[in-house]
């Protein structure tokens, strides 16, 4: 149901745009975001969808609002606004309260931890690819993208791999379903799943990331069970979704661009730098913020309590920041992106996601340098807080 624009919203700022389904049938998902940006001269527009919310359309404002916790709070960070206020760790806290909940994530996903994981990530990538390389094809999402990053993450938190599919379903419901009741139920299911694990880690902690969380101190006191469950729920939602979605978009691009793909296959030393450009080109996340008070921007007023959506796509694909933004240029200097967020809430798993993507490309292109997409009519994008390809059939000779 569409919301009625409040009196302070000028009529020329109202646009019936769906931030979770920006593309027309058959239109490229990311090109649709650029089309939307170019369709309006305004830096801020107002959509009646999802209860009504503002949308920042220019990269500069997207990044500013990500970083400006003094005026824009993360306490509510999605549209439609969640009805449940269950704790979710750092993602729903603003500085300085979020700092102790961020600290254990930074420790558990530090560059040192990522380096230690690299041999296992590489071995798993090789094993998965070798498992289907002789068959001449695979469904990349189900056979690889939904397996490798999720397996790596579940090993980091020491959760049974047998639960991977169910955990992934709950995470997908939280990040891609717009029905708040479904989102809340999936989040509740994750919390219920985690409670006995948290109790077990309190009784017998290990070296995994869940143990790191339950042993932490918040302002000198032990973390409570409620706080631990919330922090672990946030960790699971973030860790089970983003990298697998990124890999799908990356591999579809490489399948469709043989010249650029073979340029990487022939020069694997370029892959780490190329990954930065691919991360820039294929942002996935649509987050929102709640105005703490009335904020004047672009000649309008965002009233206190109103939501502002800050799509990462509109920073990375802003032509004022990156010329010819839909083009992929392996030698492009990538100085900043919002793919993993910005400011105090930038995803602490970004270094892990970047290394996973590089390792996947190194091992895949060494074994399958020439591949293409098949069954194109079966490929679709599911938008949401984190966009993803639903399937990606690939073939090779």
CA separation, residue 278 to residues 11, 148, 282, 338 (Å): 38, 19, 6, 12
- Per-residue model confidence (pLDDT) at position 191: 94
Q: What is the DSSP annotation of 278-293?
A: HHHH---BEEEEEESS
CA distance linking residue 350 with residue 45, whole number of Å: 30
In what helix (H) or strand (E) does residue 132 lie, and over which residues does it extend? helix 111-132
- Per DSSP, what are the bridge partners of residue 195? none
What domains does the chain contain, in order, with CATH numbers?
Answer: 11-395 (1.10.630.10)
CA separation, residue 93 to residues 86, 115, 234, 309, 360 (Å): 12, 29, 12, 17, 34
- Per DSSP, what are the bridge partners of residue 372? 395
Half-sphere CA count of 199, side-chain side, radius 13 A: 5
CB 71 within 8 A of CB 306: no
Report pTM.
Answer: 0.95
Beta-carbon contacts of 204 under 8 Å, excluding residues fewer than 6 positions away, are none
212-235 pLDDT, tens per residue? 999 999 999 999 999 999 999 999
CA distance linking residue 130 with residue 126, whole number of Å: 6
250-308 pLDDT, tens per residue? 999 999 999 999 999 999 999 999 999 999 999 999 999 999 999 999 999 999 999 99
- Per-residue model confidence (pLDDT) at position 2: 85
CA distance linking residue 76 with residue 91, whole number of Å: 9
CB 105 within 8 A of CB 233: no
22-56 per-residue burial string, b: 16 or more CB within 10 A, e: under 16: bbeeeeebbebbbebbeebebbbbbbbbbebbbbb
Enter the tokens of residue 220.
């000198």
CA separation, residue 43 to residues 69, 158, 327 (Å): 19, 44, 23
Count of all residues that appear for the chain in the document: 397
Mind listing the pLDDT tens digit of every residue in the chain (397 residues)? 589 999 999 999 999 999 999 998 889 999 999 999 999 999 999 999 999 999 999 999 999 999 999 999 999 999 998 887 788 899 999 999 999 999 999 999 999 999 999 999 999 999 999 999 999 999 999 999 999 999 999 999 999 999 999 999 999 999 999 899 999 999 999 999 999 999 999 999 999 999 999 999 999 999 999 999 999 999 998 888 889 999 999 999 999 999 999 999 999 999 999 999 999 999 999 999 999 999 999 999 999 999 999 999 999 999 999 999 999 999 999 999 999 999 999 999 999 999 999 999 999 999 999 999 999 999 999 999 999 999 999 999 8
Beta-carbon contacts of 332 under 8 Å, excluding residues fewer than 6 positions away, are 277, 280, 322
- Per-residue model confidence (pLDDT) at position 1: 58
Q: What are phi and psi of 88, to 5 degrees?
A: -135, 35
CA separation, residue 2 to residues 16, 42, 47, 51, 396 (Å): 9, 21, 9, 7, 46
Enter the tokens of residue 269.
């030393």
Nearest residue to 133 via CA among 365, 381, 302:
365
Nearest residue to 360 via CA among 370, 368, 348:
368
3-state SS assignment for residue 198: helix
């Amino acid at each position: 149901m569409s919301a009625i624009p409040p009196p302070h919203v000028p009529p020329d700022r109202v646009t019936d745009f769906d931030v979770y389904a920006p593309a027309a049938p058959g239109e490229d998902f990311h090109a649709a975001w650029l089309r939307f940006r170019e369709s309006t001269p305004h830096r801020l527009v107002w959509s009646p969808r999802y209860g009504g919310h503002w949308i920042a359309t220019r990269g500069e404002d997207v990044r500013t609002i990500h970083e400006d916790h003094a005026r824009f709070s993360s306490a509510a960070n999605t549209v439609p606004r969640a009805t449940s206020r269950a704790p979710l760790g750092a993602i729903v806290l603003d500085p300085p309260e979020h700092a102790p909940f961020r600290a254990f994530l930074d420790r558990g996903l530090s560059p040192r931890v990522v380096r230690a994981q690299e041999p296992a990530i590489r071995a798993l990538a090789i094993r998965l690819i070798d498992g289907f390389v002789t068959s001449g094809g695979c469904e990349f999402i189900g056979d690889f993208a939904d397996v490798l990053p999720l397996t790596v993450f579940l090993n980091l938190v020491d959760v049974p791999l047998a639960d991977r599919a169910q955990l992934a379903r709950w995470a997908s419901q939280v990040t891609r379903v717009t029905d708040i009741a479904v989102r809340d139920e999936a989040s509740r299911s994750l919390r219920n799943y985690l409670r006995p694990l948290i109790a077990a880690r309190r009784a017998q902690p290990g070296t995994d990331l869940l143990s790191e969380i339950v042993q932490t101190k918040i302002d000198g006191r032990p973390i409570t069970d409620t706080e631990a469950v919330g922090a672990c729920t946030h960790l699971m939602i973030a860790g089970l979704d983003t990298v697998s979605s990124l890999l799908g978009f990356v591999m579809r691009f490489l399948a469709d661009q043989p010249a650029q793909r073979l340029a990487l296959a022939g020069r694997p030393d370029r892959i780490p730098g190329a990954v930065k450009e691919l991360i820039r080109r294929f942002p996935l996340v649509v987050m929102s913020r709640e105005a703490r008070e009335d904020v004047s921007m672009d000649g309008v007023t965002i009233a206190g309590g109103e939501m502002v959506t800050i799509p990462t796509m509109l920073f990375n694909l802003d032509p004022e920041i990156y010329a010819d933004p839909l083009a992929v240029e392996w030698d492009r200097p990538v100085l900043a992106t919002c793919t993993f967020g910005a400011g105090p809430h930038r995803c602490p798993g970004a270094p892990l996601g970047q290394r996973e993507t590089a390792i996947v490309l190194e091992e895949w292109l060494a074994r399958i340098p020439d591949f293409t997409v098949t069954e194109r009519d079966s490929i679709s994008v599911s938008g949401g807080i984190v966009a993803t390809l639903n399937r990606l059939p690939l073939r090779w000779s």
